[in-house]
Amino acid sequence: MIIVAIVFFGLLILGMPVGIVLGVAGLIGIIDMGGGHFLAMVPDRFFSGLNLFPFLAMPFFILAGEIMNRSGLTMNLVNFAQALVGWLRGGMAHSNMLASVLFAGLTGSATADAAAFGNTLVPAMKKAGYTGPYACAVTAAGSIIGPIIPPSTLAIIYGSLMGVSIAGLFAAGIIPGLLLCLVCMCLIAATGRRLNLPKSDQRPSLTLILKEFRGSLLALILPVFILGAILTGITTPTEAAALAVLYALVVGGVIYRNITWKDMYEMLARTALITGVIFLIIASATILGWWMTFNQIPQLIAAGFLSVSENPAVVVAMIVALLLIIGLFMDINAALIILAPVLGPLTLTIGLEPVHAGMIIILALTISLMTPPVGACLFVLASVTGERIEAITKSLWPFILVEVAVLIAVAYWEPIALTIPRLLGLAS
């Protein structure tokens, strides 16, 4: 175990890709298990880790988001959000948050949100009088709503690995995602005067709202269509994802007619790249997870937690703290794949409902997307905008604190996550 841990963290420190780190560490562990016989099983384990039908939903959802973004509907959503809240002090910051909620329903990706708004909204906010670090901080705080509000690739991974209803996890993310947006907007409003955030001369206008609503209607229909089809049981998440691609192609290629064959090639290549990275991490983590299971490491960790306290509230606090700390140093997809089989059974032991437990784990890891030193959204925004990560982080801390407060509320008051799944019969 010590050798595997040294190899794992050593390769991470050296900057090796996470998928390779997981695979090498797992392979060393397998060699120690007994050599030849177990090594012969590695290729089968590697590919069986990806042999789950729900995983097909991920490339479809990623491609649908790429098409909708390329067709220009992202800016339609931004304009609609600006019409709703742009007249407030810090209006563009509020619009950024609201647009993140709307954009989340298209992609389910935090980094896609950060990249899209880093290229569009951050320059616009700087031009309107916001500082660069603050504009990036608002964008980072809003971007993590992407993996919470459905569709969510993290929910697909967790549900597939743990046998938990993906539709239930999708439904469980709706209220926490909206709550994240609400608390961040409250923070913007509360600090607006102290930070001297710009206030637009724009007045509230029902005519403008209706105009921008019509312009963004085709984009707004997609998440409603996806979620409605899944939650009503008409389609599986994978089938809904495929239909989302078809819908996006019709909107971008037939209605707007601004998708070229060159665009399609670039979007397919980008989808393949993103999906390939995620799938390599999943497959490699399967090998490491096999070694961990063979050595009963999940049971040892669970026993260690319960030896501290069997009080569910204390165990939940330790789980949340562990996830937030792990998220500081590890890719969240890898962390989810490694820790879900460890923490999932532990949450059942203390009586947590499986969908609720999954939402806690997903939300905790998602917050780490905006925390240094490995926060993916921070790196995306820094590379896109040219702002320094240290400066962005300084403006980001208040948003991190309020979003951790939402995580604690979700962890200890289960109706936040389970009200909608229970109404739909997707959670006990």
Distances (CA, A) of 140 to 41, 112, 210, 369, 397: 42, 11, 29, 8, 11
- The three-point CA angle 332-338-339 to 5° equals 85
Torsions phi, psi for 89 (to 5 deg): -65, 135
Q: Are residues 34 and 161 in the same domain?
A: no
The verdict on residue 101 lying in a domain is yes
By the 10 Å C-beta count (0-12 exposed, 13-18 middle, 19+ buried), 120 is classed as middle
Q: Are residues 120 and 269 in the same domain?
A: yes
Q: Are residues 19 and 105 in the same domain?
A: no
In angstroms, rounded to a whole number, what is the distance separating the alpha carbons of residues 325 and 332?
11
Q: Are residues 79 and 8 in the same domain?
A: no
The verdict on residue 366 lying in a domain is yes
Hey, how many other C-beta atoms are within 10 angstroms of the C-beta on 179? 18
Q: Are residues 13 and 61 in the same domain?
A: no
Q: Are residues 44 and 160 in the same domain?
A: no
CB 386 within 8 A of CB 199: no
State which of 24, 48, 72 marks the end of a domain.
48
What stretches of 192-260 show up as alpha helix (H) in DSSP? 206-231, 237-249
The DSSP 8-state label assigned to residue 204 in this structure reads P
In angstroms, rounded to a whole number, what is the distance separating the alpha carbons of residues 67 and 61?
10
Helix 110-119 to helix 91-107 angle (10° resolution) is: 140
Residue 142's contacts (CB-CB under 8 Å, 6 or more residues apart) are 96, 97, 99, 100, 101, 113, 117, 181, 184
Residue 258's contacts (CB-CB under 8 Å, 6 or more residues apart) are 70, 71, 72, 252
Rg, Å, the chain Cα set: 22
The verdict on residue 428 lying in a domain is no
Q: Are residues 57 and 27 in the same domain?
A: no
Q: Are residues 76 and 151 in the same domain?
A: yes
Q: Are residues 281 and 240 in the same domain?
A: yes
CB 323 within 8 A of CB 158: no
pLDDT by 10-residue block (mean), the chain, 428 residues: 83 80 84 72 78 81 82 79 83 88 76 79 86 91 88 87 90 94 93 84 80 85 83 84 88 84 89 85 82 77 82 92 84 82 87 94 90 78 84 91 95 94 88
Please state the domain count of the chain. 2
- What is the span of the domain harbouring residue 9? 1-48
Q: Are residues 89 and 7 in the same domain?
A: no
Query: What token pair was written down for 86?
Result: 């742009």
Q: Are residues 140 and 16 in the same domain?
A: no
CB 106 within 8 A of CB 69: yes
The verdict on residue 217 lying in a domain is yes
Given the structure tokens 């009088």, which residue do they identify? 129
CB 38 within 8 A of CB 218: no
The verdict on residue 258 lying in a domain is yes
Distances (CA, A) of 297 to 1, 290, 300, 336, 342: 9, 10, 5, 16, 8
Query: What token pair was written down for 42?
Result: 């590695």
Distances (CA, A) of 411 to 35, 165, 329, 356, 398: 42, 19, 22, 8, 20
Q: Are residues 261 and 151 in the same domain?
A: yes
What is the biggest distance separating any 2 CA atoms in the chain, rounded to whole angstroms? 72
Hey, how many other C-beta atoms are within 10 angstroms of the C-beta on 131? 15
Instruction: State how far Cα 310 lies from the chain centre.
Output: 30
Please list, residue by residue across 251-284, b when 16 or more beta carbons sit within 10 angstroms of its beta carbon and e when fewer do: bbbeeeeebeeebbeebeeebeebbeebbbbbbb
